[in-house]
A = this chain, B = another copy of it.
Amino acid sequence: MKNTKFTQELRGIFAASAKPLTVADILGILRLKKLRPNKTTIYRQLEKMTRAKDLEHVHFESRGLGYEKAREHHHHLICNSCEKIEDLVIKDEQKMFDRLLGRKEFKAQEHHLEIFGLCMACSR
């Protein structure tokens, strides 16, 4: 991946962001920085970074496709009120899924799990 003004910006944005970002999010951030980003470039660069395993897809039904820095397998807790997103790492996840499938004859490969609710601050 070449090192351009643009890719530097993108790396910076993902380094600074705790939560998954959509193309629209990134457009917004860049515009706040007074940059005039081209959305085609964003689409292309995000996909390229995903192929390179720097990013991973995160799908949220409400916000569409997002991207986040690749890291340990985890899930998301999404606050319905303030939209904050926390990570959730499940202990013994494999075991849990095995149990959950019971005697179903299904060879699980991947899964998606997101939990919506109220974060600590919003549930007061």
Residue positions of A touching B, CB distance < 8 A: 59, 61, 65, 77, 79-80, 86, 88, 90-91, 96-97, 100-102, 104-120, 123
Contact = CB atoms under 8 A, between A and B. Distances in A.
Q: Which secondary structure dominates where chain A touches chain B?
A: strand
Given A80-B109, A86-B104, A112-B116, 20 more contacts: A61-B65, A61-B112, A77-B101, A77-B106, A79-B106, A88-B100, A90-B100, A91-B102, A106-B115, A106-B119, A106-B120, A107-B117, A107-B118, A110-B117, A111-B113, A111-B114, A111-B115, A111-B116, A112-B112, A112-B114
29 contacts: A59-B61, A61-B112, A77-B101, A77-B104, A79-B106, A80-B109, A86-B104, A86-B106, A88-B101, A91-B102, A96-B96, A96-B100, A106-B117, A106-B118, A106-B119, A106-B120, A107-B118, A108-B115, A108-B116, A108-B117, A109-B116, A109-B118, A110-B115, A111-B113, A111-B114, A111-B115, A111-B116, A112-B114, A112-B116
